[in-house]
Every structure is written in C-alpha cells, then in structure tokens.
Structure 1
C-alpha cells in the first residue's frame, strides 16, 4: 500500500538542489530595519526582540566570514561532509545601499563549503535593482529569498506596527518569483485580534501566492517587547496557545487547506527561555513535529486535503 506524504518538508526540498546534507548558518550582518529607523516607522514590530533568533556566534562586531566559520565549527563535528547556506536572518537583510549588500553576500559565498544564500527580509524592501542582482547571482548559486508576511489581514498588520500591507507582500513575492528565484514566506499564528477562522482563511490566501516554502510560527510573548506590555494591559485581546494540543489542532487544519506542493519548513519557533513569557511548551522542534505527524495520521489528514483551488 502506498504511504501518503503528510506534508512536504524542507530537507526534501533541498535535495532538489544539493546531493548531500546542507545546513543553514544564521548570520547577523549588522542590518537595521526601516520600521526602526523612521523610514517606515519607529519601535519595530510590537512582538520583535531580535535576540530571540540569534545564536551565540551571531555578534554584529564579527564579520560575516567569521560568523560562518564559527557556525561551521559548531556543526562540522557531527557531519564533516556538510555544506552550508549563509542565512542572513537578523532584521532586514536587503535594507541598505546595493554595493554594500553585494559585498556582504559575496563575502558569505567566498567562505569554503558555503553553497548558497537564504536572505530574510520585509516585503517593502526589495527594489528592482537588487532583484536584478539576485537573479544574476542565482545563475551560479542557490538563492532563496524569505519574506516576513506575518499576516494576510491589514488590520492585524497595522495593530502589530508591521509597517507594510498584505498587498505589499503579494507584490514582493510575485516580483521575486517572476525572476525564477525560490521564494519563502513566514507567518505567525495567534496574532491579537485574529480568530481561528481568520487563521484558517489565511491558508487559502497564502496558497494563491507563488511561494515555494512557508514557515509557520506560534505567537510568542517576549520580555521587553511592546506586545508584552499590551498583554499585561489587555490580556483578553490575546489567545495564547498554552495547550500545545490546541495549537497542533490548528496547524493540522491549516496544513490541510494549503496548496499541496508548498514546502513547509517549520511549525514552531523556539525563543530563549530567559526571554519567553508564553507559551512555554518545553518541546524541541523534532518533538513537536513527531506529535503533529502522529495527530495527522490519527485524523487521516494530509497537506492539501481540504485545499480549494
């Protein structure tokens, strides 16, 4: 009997491009964000504390090459044959003067065993001149552009001080895909003011975009953020998934409504314990994935089962 694939995973996606094991190394290349420096807004997104996704080796005083070498040492003892993707992750990694951006990307690609780039950015920070350059670069190496979409509802984007619209996200993804570049998206489930129906409706909107990959994350309340203060003042505006099984149920329903060929890279985010207020499930990514897959099998659920084209 044929075994049905529950969902398309990221390692399988990478096998289309690389014969062996490939690992992303997160970088902090010293970028800021137009939602912090006043170009779009001040203060950043209400949920954002960048410390939550920077490993110890990511220090802005270190060069891109030094961060990559330290990241390689971290992984190489397990897999000596490993190749690496330079993951420009912190803040907005296309926000800057074009020549300065090129220098950072090319510094990363000059490091031994680095076989491509993953560039995390905002939908409102992708000028055509940079797309021209990335399109040319991608003729010789792997380049994945990952956009923080976060929500498909403009009222939510305004509420979290995101500084761009859903239309801007659609435009950026479509312009990038038109260049033949792989495109990723990132959304947060559980943002204030969004109902379960809103979140499930998002799956249909996301599926209409020419995205190759998608990351889902649960909303996490992080110490020192504006959202943490808002939660103290109006907890009734928030629905935090304190029960992991409730979040799993939502993710199962969401996955079933997604386009069947979309690659699902992640379902959860893990912030440092000292910064995290809630929800704190105490689960590693692989443990969450195991529970999710078990539940999908129990429900005879699979990606795209409820997808309406």
Structure 2
C-alpha cells in the first residue's frame, strides 16, 4: 500500500531533498538524562528502562565506529547512499557544549553523513547548544527531536516525565527562532489517556510550528515501572485494532504539511513484555493503512 497517498512520509521528504535514499543511523553517545541522574529523579519515565532506548554501543564503539558498522548494513539492506546521524539514546543535548560539539562533529566528519537528528527533552536545550546547531545547519541538515509524548500536563505528571507542555512550547519557539526544524515525539496509549486526549494532542501539534512528528505505540519494556503497573492490573495495553484507530484518527487531525517520521515503535524483542504484537511492524502499519482507507481518512482531513 502506498503510504504517500495517506500521509506525508519521511523517506520521500529525504529523497526530494537529497536525490537518493537517505537512512538514519541510530547513535549511542553514552549520555544520560536529568530524569535518571538525580536532577529531576533517578528512575526515569515509567516506560523507560536503564538503557534509555539505547543500544549500549557507546560502551565499546566510538561514534565514528558506530557509523561505519551501520553504513555497511544499511547500504546493503536499503540501497542507502547518504545517512543522518541520529543521536537517539537518552538526552542528547544534556552535556557541556564542548563535549556535544565533539560528538556532533565526529558524526559529521564522515563524508556520507549529510546531517543530524538530535533526540532530546524540551527542558534540556540551552541557547548555546541551539546556537551551535544553527551554525552546523548552514552546511548540514539538522533536526531537533523533542519528546513531548502528550499535550496533557496531567498525563506528563502521571508518566513522571518531569517537564510541562509549556517547556515544549518554549523549546519549539527558541528552536524555530534559529530556523531549525522540529520533530515532536508522541506516544499513543499512555496510562489514563482517553481517545479524546490523544486527539487533543494531534490538534495541539497542528497548531504549533513543528515540521514533523513521530508517533509511538506505548509498549511495555521489562524492568520498568510500567511493567509493574501492567502486572498489577493498573495498566492495559492497546490492542492492534485500537492502535490502528488511534493512529489513523491522529493523522487525520494533523496538518497535511507535517512530515510523519514514524507510525509505530521498534521494541527490542528481548526487552518487550507486552503487547507481543508490537514487534510485528509491517502488520501494524498495514492495520493503520487499512483503517484509514476503510474510513476514508488521509492526513489533515479533520484539521
């Protein structure tokens, strides 16, 4: 099924910009998070384990070595010719500027790396880091990826996120003042959230100056507070059909110019506690596409 007819997808955007297949390389810089180092807390968000979405690669490989290993695999699998360095694990603006400058520079020293995506929290983007990234963006594509998760402050408190919706608004404003594009991360199926709450997040994002979204399914990772909630009956996972409805309706309330970088997550199978269907990515995408076509939905229909 051609997703381009249903929503504005990320690979097409990159191909339009660079004229070839561009693939992200997930990088682990060995950083941490204020929600784990004691600044805000020590246990992280309820869905995050000690790896913080990381691979652990920083323990044994430099950034340059991670890129070289990934390039070989991605070029063979996807015929990719250019790459984006995606600083994914933990909070990738949460370190002194000089350290960040070295990390970003190491990634960009590879001639096939045409840009960066920096995954971070909206309460961890000081102006000097944004100024540096703005300077880098003169010659490279640079995205800031902010974990909002929900536009509901009560939800953010419930999941122990440690920041407010206002912090996201502030980060977006300062980022866009420097002409850097913003990708907002949201999670569907968070504890205590209704269907209406999720749709309110879509409408919120459509009203903000963002350029992309990543939509994630809330899956339960072993060793997290959320796993405890699941085992005690405090949390119930969405079914695949429920997720397809939520994601499809979310897209229908999203401005049509916003790029959709992701429609579901990619859990590590060995870490996944529930739902087991979360690892079946293609089936999950097809479920979203089927729901949208069945209900006559396309991105932006209900904006």
TM range (shorter): over 0.9
Deviations 1:10-37 (A, max 9, x none): 1122134211111101011010011111
Deviations 1:192-220 (A, max 9, x none): 11111111111111111111110111111
Number of equivalences: 301
Q: Is the 1:126–1:172 Cα contact (8 Å) retained in structure 2?
A: yes
CA RMSD of aligned residues (A): 1.9
TM-score by length of 1: 0.92
Structure 2, unaligned stretches of length 5 or more?
none
| Mapping for residues 125-144 of structure 1, pairs under 5 Å | 125-144=124-143
Hey, what does 1:229 align to over in structure 2? Answer: 228
Which of 252, 255, 264 is matched with 2:248 structurally? 252
Structure 1 consecutive aligned stretches of length 4 or more whose deviation exceeds 6 Å? none
Hey, what does 1:238 align to over in structure 2? Answer: 235
In terms of mean alpha carbon deviation, does 267-276 or 71-80 score higher? 71-80
Hey, what does 1:266 align to over in structure 2? Answer: 262
Shift of 1:51: 4.2
TM-score by length of 2: 0.94
Higher helix share goes to which structure? 2
Give the SS at the match of 1:8: coil
Give the SS at the match of 1:158: helix
Q: Measured at CA, do residues 175 and 16 of structure 1 come closer, stay the same or move farther in structure 2, by a change above 3 Å?
A: farther
Give the whole-Å Cα distance in 2 for the aligned partners of 1:74 and 1:147: 27
Give the whole-Å Cα distance in 2 for the aligned partners of 1:283 and 1:28: 22
| Mapping for residues 1-309 of structure 1, pairs under 5 Å | 5-49=5-49, 51=51, 53-55=53-55, 58-78=57-77, 82-233=81-232, 235=233, 237-241=234-238, 243-281=239-277, 284-307=280-303
Q: Is the 1:29–1:64 Cα contact (8 Å) retained in structure 2?
A: yes
Give the whole-Å Cα distance in 2 for the aligned partners of 1:251 and 1:172: 25
Give the whole-Å Cα distance in 1 for the aligned partners of 2:4 and 2:100: 43
Deviations 1:172-211 (A, max 9, x none): 1121122111110101111111111111111111111111
Give the SS at the match of 1:25: strand
Structure 1, unaligned stretches of length 5 or more?
none
Deviations 1:57-90 (A, max 9, x none): x343311101111111222234566111111000
